[in-house]
A = this chain, B = another copy of it.
């Protein structure tokens, strides 16, 4: 077990990482109120664990799935917090995946202008990425994460015991973000290549998770509020991934990140902004995790959703973060139409390959 620390002007956030992290976590709010937010899937699997560990706490269960990241669910959580009589000394516990962590984190940041929150991520994606760093959000009117806050959890409990119940698809979703870290960090890239035949094992997940968290913790410590450029890099593959996620739904966030990265690698190659061999190697890593990359017939139209991306300075110019070489990423900014047209080209090429 190891502790990784994020130390920002606003707060010190400690990530307890490894086997036994959950068992050795004793809620620090002795005698204070706890409020547990979880989802319908987690509540089913871990009913006993929740009642044993958080017996006295109010437990608020939201419906599992990305569709819950909306203001109606946010409002229901805030109302339940009022009904439970939480004060400024209370603590919210987010037990679940990225959706639970994002929305419970936002609710905790807003209730009485901010009460403590502890994140206990139960999916690979939330363990390697979303539970760390204090970004909270909901979607609104078809725009991803457009309403949210920067709000660090006091503690994050990352325990691999939660991964044993995950399906292959859920592991793939987490691997989507792990591959993203592979595009940013040479050590993680090497580990991915070395383990390319066992990417879907729990052993690999347990090995790579602390590396991803450490990478993110360093970036967040340097640039908590995403203003200095460093934190922007964590959106590698996300510009197109988010656009496709909003347009096509159905697949998971992590799968869309993989698909988005694939399409953006195509753009980097077309613009001569990446070495061909490295791009080939990276694309084959993506296919290993994601399987066949969809050749979306209306990819160009879907790509136009990227005009709402938070990284854009104006809506008419799309910003994306793309790998350039091992451990090196770059920002590519293109006029919206040119970007969408290149995305369409990539889809056409994929279509051709499938014939």
Asked if A137 CB lies within 8 Å of chain B CBs, one says: yes
Contact yes or no, A82 B112, CB < 8 A: no
9-residue interface stretch from A71-79, A166-174, A235-243, A259-267:
A71-79
Contact partner of A313 among B89, B143, B225, CB < 8 A?
B89
Asked if A334 CB lies within 8 Å of chain B CBs, one says: no
Contact yes or no, B87 A314, CB < 8 A: yes
Contact yes or no, A140 B82, CB < 8 A: yes
By a CB distance below 8 angstroms, the chain B residues around A89 are 313-314
Query: When chains A and B are docked, how far (Å) is the Cα of A75 from the Cα of B140?
Result: 9
Chain A contact residues, majority secondary structure: mixed
Asked if A19 CB lies within 8 Å of chain B CBs, one says: no
Asked if A226 CB lies within 8 Å of chain B CBs, one says: yes
Chain B, residue nearest A226 (CB): B113
Contact yes or no, A87 B137, CB < 8 A: no
Chain B, residue nearest A149 (CB): B113
Query: When chains A and B are docked, how far (Å) is the Cα of A314 from the Cα of B90?
Result: 9
Q: Mark A140-155, 1 if CB is under 8 A from B, else 0.
A: 1101011111100000
Q: A9-B9, A114-B225, A137-B113 are in contact. Are A147 and B314 (CB under 8 A)?
A: no
Asked if A16 CB lies within 8 Å of chain B CBs, one says: no
Asked if A180 CB lies within 8 Å of chain B CBs, one says: no
Contact yes or no, A141 B87, CB < 8 A: no
Contact partner of A114 among B85, B87, B150, B314, CB < 8 A?
B150
Query: When chains A and B are docked, how far (Å) is the Cα of A148 from the Cα of B310?
Result: 22
Chain B, residue nearest A147 (CB): B110
- Chain A residues touching B, range: 35 or more
Q: A146-B112, A149-B109 are in contact. Are A140 and B312 (CB under 8 A)?
A: no
By a CB distance below 8 angstroms, the chain B residues around A147 are 78, 110-111
Q: Mark A77-100, 1 if CB is under 8 A from B, else 0.
A: 011001101011100000000000
Shortest CB distance A311–B (Å): 8
By a CB distance below 8 angstroms, the chain B residues around A308 are 82
Query: When chains A and B are docked, how far (Å) is the Cα of A149 from the Cα of B75?
Result: 15
Query: When chains A and B are docked, how far (Å) is the Cα of A110 from the Cα of B226?
Result: 14
Contact partner of A113 among B71, B75, B148, CB < 8 A?
B148
Chain B, residue nearest A148 (CB): B113
By a CB distance below 8 angstroms, the chain B residues around A10 are 9-10
Asked if A329 CB lies within 8 Å of chain B CBs, one says: no
Contact yes or no, A150 B314, CB < 8 A: no
Shortest CB distance A243–B (Å): 15
Query: When chains A and B are docked, how far (Å) is the Cα of A150 from the Cα of B150?
Result: 11
Q: Which of A137, A146, A308, A312 has the most CB of B within 10 A?
A: A146
Asked if A253 CB lies within 8 Å of chain B CBs, one says: no
Shortest CB distance A313–B (Å): 6
Contact yes or no, A140 B78, CB < 8 A: yes
By a CB distance below 8 angstroms, the chain B residues around A75 are 71
Contact yes or no, A315 B87, CB < 8 A: yes
Q: Which of A110, A113, A313, A315 has the most CB of B within 10 A?
A: A113
The 3 A-B pairs at the shortest CB distance, nearest first, are namely A9-B9, A113-B148, A112-B310
**15 A-B contacts (beta carbon < 8 Å):** A9-B10, A10-B10, A71-B75, A79-B141, A82-B146, A88-B310, A88-B313, A110-B147, A111-B146, A111-B147, A112-B148, A112-B310, A113-B136, A113-B137, A114-B225
